[in-house]
Structure formats: C-alpha cells, structure tokens
C-alpha cells in the first residue's frame, strides 16, 4: 500500500474510532486545530503519564510545574520571540498557496538525499555481500555528483538562513527550479517574514489593555520560575523542571493532520547544569530520550537523530529525534543545549538577579540549560502510525488492529458476555466492577462476539475476556490476546494478576532503568 494511502487510512481511523476529530467539525472544521475523542484522550493521557513519570518519578532531581499560558509580554521580548520567532513565507501566484520558503528548500535537499540513498541501495543489491558502502559513496561518479550538488545547496541555504536573507532564499528557490506542487509553476512572490505568535488583549480598553501572547512554547514558564523552584525545593544543580502544557503557533503551512497544529501540547524539561558540563549532559539526555522512545517496542529502525548544523543563536548543540512517519522521517522531539541564553536574557529584561549560588564551588553563576522538548500530538501520531496494522487472516478476511503498547492503550480490557441472557451479562458486569479499580475496563454486549473482538482490535484493547455458560459453574473465562488472537481459559480470580502488570505504565518505565 502506498504510504500516502496508509496515512489517509490512519486519519480516517482516528475519526471513525473516536481518537481525533477535526475541531468545530459541524462548522466544517478549523484549520490545523483538532479535538481528541473518547479513545484519543485516554491514549494522549497515557503518553503524557509515561513522559511525566519517566521524568519526575525516575529522577530524584527533576520536579514538575504547571505555569500559566499567559505571561508577562516582556518575557517574549527577552526570549527573542517577538523579534525573531518568524518563518519565511512565499506564495505561488497561480495556485494562491502559501509555503514556508525554508521547507521548500529543505524538501529539495531531502530529494538529493533520497536519490543518493537509492543509488546506494541499488549498488548494495548488485554487489550483495561484497558491498562496501563507504567505498562506493567515495568513488561512484553519480553519487559524488549528487552529493556535491546537495552540499552546495545546503551550504547556500544555511548561509541564507543564518543571515535571514529573504532575497537569497527566493533566489535559491528560483535557481533550483522548485515548482509549486499544486500549480506546477514557478510563479513565486517575494519571501516575507511572518511572526508565529498569536496575540490578544488583556484587561479592558478603558484602563489600557495590554497586548499579551498565547505562549508558543512552555519552556519560558520554566525559565521564569527556575529560581522559585530551586529555592523552595532546595534543588541543587544539576536539576530539572518538567512541564506539560498547551502551546500556540500561527503556523503558515498547517498540514499533515496533527503533525503541525496551531494549538498543540508540549512536554518540556529544562535541565540546569554547571557551565562547562553541558556537552556531557547533552549526550546523556540524547541517550535517555532515545531509550524512552525505543522502550515502546516499535523497533530501533523507526528512529534516528538529526543533528542540527544550523544552530539557533542561543544554542551550542541541538538534535532532533526523528520518527519514521508514513510521510518519511520527521521530528518528534528536539534536544537542545541552550547555554545560559534564556536565563541571562530574563535577568537583563527583569532587572532581577537570578543567579544560582553553588554551595559546592562557592560561586554564583547562571546555569546552562539542556532542554528536551517533545510534542504530545506528534508523539500521538507516531504511536498511531506505528501501531496501525492491517492483517490478512487465514479465512481471507482482513482485520484492522492497533498494536499499541499495552501501557498506552486507551482501554486495557473488554469484558464480553457471549450472549445477552442466562445471567451472563450480570457475571460480566461483576468482573468489570471488580477490575475497573485497577485499569480501564469496559463492558460490551452488542453484536456477535467476532464483531466485538474486531471493535476492540481497532482501538487497540490488548485483552478481551469472554464470559460463557461454563463461567457460571467454573468461574473461568476465555482471555484473548489482541496481537496473537490466542485464547486461554483462566480463572476470574487470576485476571488482575495476569493483566495488571502488563498493561501498566510501570511496565514501560521499568525498561528505562
Ligand atoms: P518544526 O521545525 O517542525 O516547526 P520546531 O523545531 O519549531 O518544529 P520546537 O520549537 O523544537 O519545534 O518544538 C518542540 C516540539 O514541539 C517539536 O519537536 C514538535 O514535536 C512539537 N511541535 C512544534 N510545533 C508544533 C506544531 N505546530 N504542532 C504540533 N507539534 C509541534
């Protein structure tokens, strides 16, 4: 199946099974804004819990906060967002579509990378076990030519972005003969800067309303609270502050479903370290975060790091954790070494000293910061993409099954009476009433048992229990495994012990130790 079709199916599946709905659906939606349905909210909460506990429970030097979305507007001046949180945009005059100039060029660079990868794959197939990839890359005239063009484009692009030279960005688009994917033409406007922050007014106009912003990241709420937390929590450097919350960006090109939204959620952790130790912590956090992703069991081949060559003005190292989405490897998380930029800026703009006194070295300094920043919604999309499976069954039917890690699944157990009579519903409800205190358990009696299994497969429920006539005598039920579809007879009294461990977030967290 083409990857594009897979993606369409995932989007449709999300809507059909109560995971994600377009916002304001009955008014035909609101671009790049989405609502989470009854199953989506459970999956999303589980992802957040997995992240939160991995930070706050597993590290005795990390604590959480929940700061407000509105903040003093000067914060966004200090952080650089008012002046520099811009995307370069360009319009195609024929299709009237708007694009990010940097994304158009990055896609072009990716095309060179794809071509090179294809050449290498072809050669690997030809030479089989004798294939020496490094040698081939260094000697194949075709690969060398592509690599040279790619590197030249990349260098030119990086220089233009670093200087934010909008004319040069446009010129690159023209020189590379990049066409609009909709109209197919090269009829481009000038490139303009566009600030991504939403603003609104606080207070009534009579007493002078103040322009405030909807935060475009949660990180600044951590920076401005860092000393409050350090002092009241008696934290010693190195320590971290974690936060989960909404962020807002007026994205120019909002597409790819919940990958790029205008209202989204972030899980950010700022780790405060002694100056000079930041590189060591940067690589530690890279490793820790990759482990967190891979513990979900989708396979290491789904992830890669993408180290930044073009660094933001405040960063001295940065990488993205990329995940193999149906539309290619894409960023889900950023890990940045932000130096002491943010704290120093807040010190300057607020006029207050926010230095940390280190009792071990007897000196005061502004800590350096390593940030891990992951989008909840992108994480959700990556989990959905990896979990969505269409399986051909022996009887010729296909089943759609979400192979979610059990710890993240919205519903852990469905209890199904074989028939709606003979006391079976009552027995089934008894089981639900007992187990619901331990994990999310639901009751379903509608339709044939086969249909009910399919329904649970489609939302990723790891276990189903069927109550039949024998149950009334032997107090045993049939326990069905979602992935293997194997069924075993187990005592009702053993259900909790068998299931609870496997479906808990703890089972995921234990893999991180
Ligand atoms: P991109 O380059 O894709 O715009 P970014 O580098 O600007 O992302 P960061 O500012 O590093 O992203 O934000 C950290 C994380 O927040 C991202 O890795 C992503 O998971 C998430 N994120 C950022 N923007 C959005 C958005 N518009 N919609 C959904 N998630 C987002």
One domain, residues 273 and 368: yes
- Domain limit, last residue, from 361, 392, 423: 392
pLDDT in tens, 238-247: 999 999 999 9
Kindly give the distance from the C-alpha atom of residue 373 to the centroid of ligand 1, in angstroms, as a whole number.
8
Closest atom of ligand 1 to 373 CA is 14
- Domain limit, last residue, from 146, 164, 194: 194
* In-domain check, residue 77: no
Give yes or no for residue 331 CB within 6 A of ligand 1: yes
Residue closest to 335 by CA, chosen among 322, 351, 350, 348: 322
pLDDT bucket at 127, cuts 50 / 70 / 90: confident
The counts of H helices and E strands in the chain are 18, 23
Neighbour count for residue 70 (Cβ, 10 Å): 13
pLDDT in tens, 345-368: 999 999 999 899 999 999 999 999
Domain count, the chain: 3
* In-domain check, residue 81: no
pLDDT(256) > 90: no
Our mutation pick for probing the ligand 1 site, out of 266, 308, 333, 370, counting the most ligand atoms within 8 A of Cβ, is 266
CATH number where 45 lies: 3.30.930.10
Helix (H, G, I), strand (E, B) or coil at 323: strand
φ, ψ at 498 (rounded to 5°)? -70, -45
pLDDT bucket at 204, cuts 50 / 70 / 90: confident
**Average of pLDDT values for 125-145?**
90
Please tell me whether the peptide bond between 238 and the residue prior to it is cis, using omega within 30 degrees of 0: yes
Contact (Cβ atoms closer than 8 angstroms) between residue 380 and residue 43: yes
Token pair for residue 273? 């370290």
Give yes or no for residue 220 CB within 6 A of ligand 1: no
Contact (Cβ atoms closer than 8 angstroms) between residue 250 and residue 244: no
One domain, residues 241 and 380: yes
pLDDT of residue 368: 97
H or E segment and range at residue 221: helix 219-223
Residues 107, 326: Cα–Cα separation, whole Å:
16
One domain, residues 498 and 424: yes
Contact (Cβ atoms closer than 8 angstroms) between residue 392 and residue 375: no
Q: Are strands 413-417 and 441-443 parallel, antiparallel or unpaired?
A: parallel
Nearest residue (by CA) to ligand 1, atom 9, is 334
* In-domain check, residue 76: no
* In-domain check, residue 378: yes
CATH number where 459 lies: 3.40.50.800
One domain, residues 361 and 486: no
pLDDT in tens, 47-90: 999 999 999 999 999 999 999 999 999 999 999 999 989 999 99
pLDDT in tens, 424-475: 999 999 999 999 999 999 999 999 999 999 999 999 999 999 999 999 999 9
pLDDT(205) > 70: no
Please tell me whether the peptide bond between 8 and the residue prior to it is cis, using omega within 30 degrees of 0: no
Neighbour count for residue 9 (Cβ, 10 Å): 15
pLDDT of residue 1: 65
For residues 384 and 354, the model is more confident at: 384
pLDDT in tens, 335-347: 999 999 999 999 9
One domain, residues 102 and 209: no
CATH number where 137 lies: 3.30.40.230
pLDDT bucket at 141, cuts 50 / 70 / 90: very high
pLDDT(331) > 80: yes
Nearest residue (by CA) to ligand 1, atom 13, is 373
pLDDT of residue 5: 87
For residues 310 and 319, the model is more confident at: 319
Which residue blocks in 2-80 are alpha helix, DSSP H? 3-16, 38-52, 73-78
pLDDT in tens, 270-317: 999 999 999 999 999 999 999 999 999 999 999 999 998 766 777 889
Torsion of CA 438, 440, 446, 447, to 10 degrees: -100
Our mutation pick for probing the ligand 1 site, out of 104, 260, 379, 381, counting the most ligand atoms within 8 A of Cβ, is 260
Contact (Cβ atoms closer than 8 angstroms) between residue 319 and residue 286: yes
Domain that residue 106 falls in: 86-194
Give yes or no for residue 266 CB within 6 A of ligand 1: yes
Our mutation pick for probing the ligand 1 site, out of 252, 323, 334, 370, counting the most ligand atoms within 8 A of Cβ, is 334
* In-domain check, residue 79: no
Residue closest to 399 by CA, chosen among 360, 345, 457: 457
Nearest residue (by CA) to ligand 1, atom 31, is 375
pLDDT of residue 366: 96
Nearest residue (by CA) to ligand 1, atom 11, is 334
Contact (Cβ atoms closer than 8 angstroms) between residue 267 and residue 287: no
Our mutation pick for probing the ligand 1 site, out of 103, 262, 264, counting the most ligand atoms within 8 A of Cβ, is 264
* In-domain check, residue 78: no
One domain, residues 12 and 112: no
One domain, residues 158 and 200: no
Give yes or no for residue 375 CB within 6 A of ligand 1: yes
One domain, residues 492 and 503: yes
Q: Is the dihedral of CA 82, 311, 335, 308 positive or negative?
A: positive
Kindly give the distance from the C-alpha atom of residue 58 to the centroid of ligand 1, in angstroms, as a whole number.
25
H or E segment and range at residue 354: none
Residues 199, 89: Cα–Cα separation, whole Å:
20
Helix (H, G, I), strand (E, B) or coil at 191: coil
One domain, residues 60 and 108: no
Nearest residue (by CA) to ligand 1, atom 30, is 375
One domain, residues 442 and 379: no
Nearest residue (by CA) to ligand 1, atom 16, is 375
Kindly give the distance from the C-alpha atom of residue 157 to the centroid of ligand 1, in angstroms, as a whole number.
21
Three-state SS across 456-506?
A: HHHHCCCEEEEECHHHHHHCEEEEEECCCCCEEEEEHHHHHHHHHHHHCHH
Backbone torsion region of residue 396, taken as left when φ is above 0, otherwise alpha when ψ lies between -120 and 50, otherwise beta: left
- Domain limit, last residue, from 143, 161, 194: 194
* In-domain check, residue 80: no
Residue closest to 298 by CA, chosen among 385, 381, 401, 374: 385
Give yes or no for residue 260 CB within 6 A of ligand 1: yes
């Amino acid at each position: 199946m083409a990857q594009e079709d897979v993606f369409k199916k995932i989007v449709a599946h999300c809507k059909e099974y109560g995971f994600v709905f377009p916002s304001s659906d009955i008014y035909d939606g609101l671009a790049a804004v989405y609502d989470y349905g009854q199953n989506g909210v459970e999956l999303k909460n589980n992802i957040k819990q997995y992240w939160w506990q991995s930070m706050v429970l597993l590290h005795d030097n990390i604590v959480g906060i929940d700061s407000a979305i509105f903040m003093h507007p000067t914060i966004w001046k200090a952080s650089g967002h008012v002046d520099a949180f811009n995307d370069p945009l360009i319009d195609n005059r024929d299709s009237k579509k708007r694009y990010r100039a940097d994304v158009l060029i990055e896609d072009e660079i990716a095309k060179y990378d794809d071509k090179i990868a294809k050449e290498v794959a072809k050669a690997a197939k030809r030479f089989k076990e004798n294939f020496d990839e490094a040698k081939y890359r260094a000697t194949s005239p075709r690969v060398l030519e592509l690599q040279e063009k790619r590197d030249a484009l990349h260098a030119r692009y990086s220089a233009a972005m670093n200087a934010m030279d909008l004319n040069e960005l446009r010129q690159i688009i023209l020189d590379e003969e990049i066409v609009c994917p909709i109209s197919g033409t090269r009829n481009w406007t000038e490139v303009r800067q566009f600030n991504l922050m939403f603003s609104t007014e606080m207070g009534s106009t009579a007493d002078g309303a103040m322009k405030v912003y909807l935060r475009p990241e949660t990180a600044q709420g951590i920076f401005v609270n860092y000393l409050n937390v350090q002092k009241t929590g008696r934290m010693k450097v190195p320590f971290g502050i974690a936060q989960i919350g909404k962020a807002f960006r007026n994205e120019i090109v909002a597409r790819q479903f919940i990958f790029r939204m205008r209202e989204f959620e972030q899980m950010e952790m700022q780790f405060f370290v002694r100056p000079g130790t930041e590189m060591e912590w940067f690589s530690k956090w890279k490793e820790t975060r990759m482990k967190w992703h891979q513990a979900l069991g989708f396979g290491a081949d789904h992830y890669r790091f993408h180290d930044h060559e073009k660094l933001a003005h405040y960063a001295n190292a940065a990488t993205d954790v990329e995940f193999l989405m149906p539309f290619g490897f894409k960023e889900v998380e950023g890990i940045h070494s932000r130096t002491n930029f943010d704290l120093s800026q807040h010190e300057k703009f607020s006029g207050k000293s926010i230095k940390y006194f280190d009792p071990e070295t007897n000196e005061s300094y502004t800590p350096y910061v390593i940030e891990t920043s992951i989008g909840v919604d992108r994480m959700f999309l990556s989990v959905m993409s990896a979990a969505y499976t269409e399986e051909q069954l022996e009887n010729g039917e296909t089943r759609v099954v979400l192979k979610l890690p059990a710890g993240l699944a919205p519903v852990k157990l469905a209890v199904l009476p074989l028939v709606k009579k003979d006391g079976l519903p009552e027995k089934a409800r008894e089981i639900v009433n007992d187990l619901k205190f331990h994990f999310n358990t639901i009751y379903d009696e509608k339709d044939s048992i086969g249909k009910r299994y399919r329904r649970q497969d489609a939302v990723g429920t790891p276990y189903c229990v069927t109550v039949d006539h024998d149950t009334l005598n032997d107090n045993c039920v049939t326990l069905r495994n979602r992935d293997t579809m194997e069924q075993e007879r187990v005592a009702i009294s053993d259900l909790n012990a068998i299931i609870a461990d496997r479906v808990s977030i703890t089972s995921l967290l234990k893999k991180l130790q």
